[in-house]
Structure 1
Amino acid sequence: MYFFEWMAWWGGTLDEKGKAKVFGKEFMEERLQDFKELLEEERPPLDQPVSDSPRSRGPVYAFNDAFLEMRCGSLEHYRGLLTPLALTLFLFGFGGAYGAIDLLLRGPNHNGFIDYLVGVIGVGGLTAGLWYCFFKFKFYIPIRWELFTHRRLLIRFNRKTRQVYLHRPKYAGGVTTMSWDKIVAAPEGVGMPLLLFWHPLDTGLPFATYTAVGKRAGTAQDLLDEWEFIRRYMEDGPESVPKPRVRSKIPWPWYSLEPQFEGLWPILRHGDWKLWLGKLLMSPAFLILGAGHWVSQLLCWEPRWPKIIREAGQPGKPIPKLTTAEDYDPETCRRLYLNADLWVPKDHDPDAPAKEEESGSQWLP
C-alpha cells in the first residue's frame, strides 16, 4: 500500500497554485525553522557502529557479495484494505442512484414503453456520469495504491558501486539511484519500519528521497539492529553480518499474514493473558486483512530492475548515474525546482564556500 510514497512525491511536484493552497505560509515558516535546526544537527558517520547485534528481520530477497535487496515501503499491513472500502462506497453510490430511478418508474402513472425508455436513458446516463467522475476526479487513485501496480517496493544496496537503488511506481518517484555516502538513517520510530532518507542539504537535489525499509519494529533496538546490519554489510562486507534468510518472491498466502503481526511479538511475549485473549478475539480481522493483502499481491506484477542496475558492479559494466531532477519530464523537473524551498531555507548563502555549496544553495531562487 503506497499511500505514504504517493503523498511524498505528490507534495514535491505540486504546481504553484496547489503548493500555496496545500502548504500555506505558516507551514512554510515552521519548516524553515526545522531546517535551520537540521543544519546544526550532528549525525553519526557511516563508519560508526550503532549496535552490537546486527540482524535483519527481513524480508530479504537477495544477499551476496555485490548487493543486498530488501522490501521497502510503509503501511504494508494495511494493503488490501482500501480497495474494498473504495469499491463499496462507489457501488453504494451506484445502488442508491439506481434505486431512486426504480422508485420513480414505479409511480402510479405506469407506462411500459416510456418507463423502459426512461430507464435505459437514465441508467445509461447515470452509469456514464459516474464513470466519468470516477476518472475525472481520480477516485481510482486509492485502488492503484494496491491493485494493478508493483507487487512490492524494493531497495537494493550495492557494495561495489556504493549506491542505493529504489524501485517504486512512477507515481511515487519511479526507479531512483542514490549515493550510499549521503544516506541518513532514523532508527527511532517504534512500531514503524526503519526510515532512510536523502536530504537536499546533503545531496544538492531540489527534492528529498526517503523510504521505510523492512518490517515494523517492536522495540527501538530492533531498528538499531536493522540499521547496523545494513551499515556493516555496506562498509565491511557480507561476512561481517549474520547471513539472513533469503525469501522467495512467490506471493504465498502465509506471507500476507506477516504484516499484520509485525512489531507485535515483543509485546505479546511480555504480555499477560488478557492481551493474548484480546489478540485472539481480533484474529478474524487479521485473517480478513491478510486475505485482502494476498489478493492485492496476486493482482499486481513483480517489479524488475533496469538492466544497468541489474549489472551494476559487474566487471566492465557501467555504473548507474545518480538521479537528478533533470531525469524526469520537463514539467515534473520544473515543479521539483519550484518546490525546492520545501526542503532547504531560501536564505541559504549562494556565495557560501564549496563545503556549504553541497547543501543545494546553487539551485535555490
Structure 2
Amino acid sequence: MYFFEWMLWWGNTLAEERKDEVFGKDFMDENQESLKAALEEEHPPLDRPVSDNPRSRGPVYAFNDTYLEMRCGSLEHYRGLITPLVLAAGLFAFGGVYMTLGMLVRGPGHNSILEYLFAIAVIGGLTAGLWYCFFKFKFYIPIRWELFTHRRLLIRFNRKTKQVYLHRPKYAGGVVTMPWDKIIPIHEGAGMRLVLAWMPHRTGQPFVTFAAVGKRAGTAQDLLDEWEFIRRYMEDGPESVPKPRVRSKIPWPWYSLEPQFEGLWPILRHGDWKLWLGKLLMSPAFLILGAGHWVSQLLCWEPRWPKIIREAGQPGKPIPKLTTAEDYDPETCRRLYLNADLWMPKDYDPDAPAEEEFGSQWLP
C-alpha cells in the first residue's frame, strides 16, 4: 500500500490556498519550531560504522559490483486491505449494469410493465449512483495505492555514481535521483523499517524525500545492521559485506505472507503461550490479508527503470542528473517551493554561513 508515499507527495504539492485548511496554523507554528531544532541535529558521517554485523534481511533484487537493489515502501504489510473491498464493489457495480441490460434484452417477461420499469429504475439508479460517487468523491484514489499500479517500490544504490534511485508511481513523486552523500538514515526501533531521508537543508531542494527500506525490524539492532550493510556496500564495495540472497521478482503467493509476519519472530521467540495463542487465533486474518496482497500483486505491473539509470555506472555511459524541483512541470515546481516551509523554517537561508542565524527567506 502506497498511502504514505502518496500522502507525502500530496502534501508537497498542495495548493497554497488549501495549506491552512489542511494543516492549520497551530500545526504549522509547531512544525516550524521542530524544523529549527532538527537543523541542529548531528548525523554520523558515512565513513563511520554503526554495527559490527552488517546484514540485509531483504528482499534484495540485485547485488553486484555496480548497484544494490532492494524493495522499499512504508506500509507493505497493510497491502491487501483495499483489494477485497474494491473487487466486491466492482462486482456489485458491474453486476448492476449486467442485470439492467439483461432485463432490457429479455423484456417484461412474467411481470407487468410497471414492475419491469420499476426494477430497471431501481437497479439502474443504484448502479449510476455508485459510479457517480466513485468519481465525485474520488474513491479511485485509494485504489491506486495497491491496485493497477507498480507491483513494488524499488530503491537502487549505485556505488559507481554515488547516487540513490527511487522508483515510485508518478502520483507519489515518480522516479528520482538523490545524492548518496546527503542521505540521513533513521533507525527508530522495533516494528519499524529503516528509513532513509533527504532533507532540504542538505540537498538544497524545497522538498523532502523518504524511503522505507526492506522489512520491518524485530529489534533496533536489525535496523543498525541493515544500514551498516548498505553503508559498507556503498563505501567499501560488495566484498565488504556478506552476499545476500537475491530474490526473484515473480509474485509467488508465499511472498505475500511475509509482510504480515515481519518483525514478529523475535517477539514470539521470547513470548509466552498466551502470545502464541493470540497469534494463532489471528492467523485467519493474516491469511486473508496475504491473499489480498497476492491478488494486488497480480493486478499490478513490474516497474522498469529508465534507460539512463539502467546504464548508470557502466563505462562510457552518462551519469544521471540529480532530481530538482525544476524537473517537474511549472505548476508542480511552484507548489513545491510554496510548500517548502513544511520541511524548512520560513526564514532559513541555505546559502548563509553555518555560524549565522537564520537569514533570508527560503522561498525566492
- TM-score, normalised on structure 2? 0.90
* Aligned residues of 1:350 and 1:362 also touching (Cα < 8 A): no
State the distance in 2 between where 1:258 and 1:280 align.
16
- Provide Cα deviations, 1:259-303, integer angstroms capped at 9, x if missing partner: 111000111111222222222222211111111111111111100
What are the ranges of 5 or more consecutive residues in structure 1 without an aligned counterpart? Answer: 97-110
> Which residue in 2 is equivalent to 1:183?
183
> Which residue in 2 is equivalent to 1:335?
335
- Provide Cα deviations, 1:29-86, integer angstroms capped at 9, x if missing partner: 1111111111111111111111010000000000000000000001111111122235
Amino acid at match of 1:253: P
How much does 1:178 deviate? 0.3
With 341-350 and 262-271 compared, the bigger mean Cα shift is at: 341-350
* Aligned residues of 1:268 and 1:276 also touching (Cα < 8 A): yes
For 1:164-243, what aligned pairs fall within 5 Å after superposition? 164-243=164-243
- Provide Cα deviations, 1:275-334, integer angstroms capped at 9, x if missing partner: 222222222111111111111111111000000000000001000000111111222111
> Which residue in 2 is equivalent to 1:42?
42
SS in 2 for 1:166: strand
State the distance in 1 between where 2:140 and 2:151 align.
18
State the distance in 1 between where 2:15 and 2:346 align.
18
State the distance in 1 between where 2:81 and 2:26 align.
34
Amino acid at match of 1:76: E
Amino acid at match of 1:199: M
Amino acid at match of 1:123: I
* Aligned residues of 2:347 and 2:361 also touching (Cα < 8 A): no
> Which residue in 2 is equivalent to 1:114?
114
SS in 2 for 1:282: helix
* Aligned residues of 1:80 and 1:293 also touching (Cα < 8 A): yes
* Aligned residues of 2:218 and 2:263 also touching (Cα < 8 A): yes
CA 1:139–1:49 in structure 2 vs 1: closer, same or farther (change >3 Å)? Answer: same
How much does 1:121 deviate? 3.6
* Aligned residues of 2:70 and 2:155 also touching (Cα < 8 A): yes
State the distance in 2 between where 1:261 and 1:70 align.
19
> Which residue in 2 is equivalent to 1:124?
124
State the distance in 1 between where 2:27 and 2:335 align.
19
How much does 1:207 deviate? 0.5
> Which residue in 2 is equivalent to 1:281?
281
> Which residue in 2 is equivalent to 1:149?
149
* Aligned residues of 2:348 and 2:361 also touching (Cα < 8 A): no
Aligned pairs, how many? 350
> Which residue in 2 is equivalent to 1:263?
263
CA 1:168–1:360 in structure 2 vs 1: closer, same or farther (change >3 Å)? Answer: farther
* Aligned residues of 1:150 and 1:168 also touching (Cα < 8 A): yes
- TM-score, normalised on structure 1? 0.90
Point out 4+ residue stretches in structure 1 off by more than 6 angstroms: 89-96, 359-362
> Which residue in 2 is equivalent to 1:364?
363
* Aligned residues of 2:154 and 2:168 also touching (Cα < 8 A): yes
Amino acid at match of 1:9: W
State the distance in 1 between where 2:92 and 2:27 align.
37
Amino acid at match of 1:203: T
SS in 1 for 2:155: strand
How much does 1:13 deviate? 0.7
How much does 1:116 deviate? 2.2
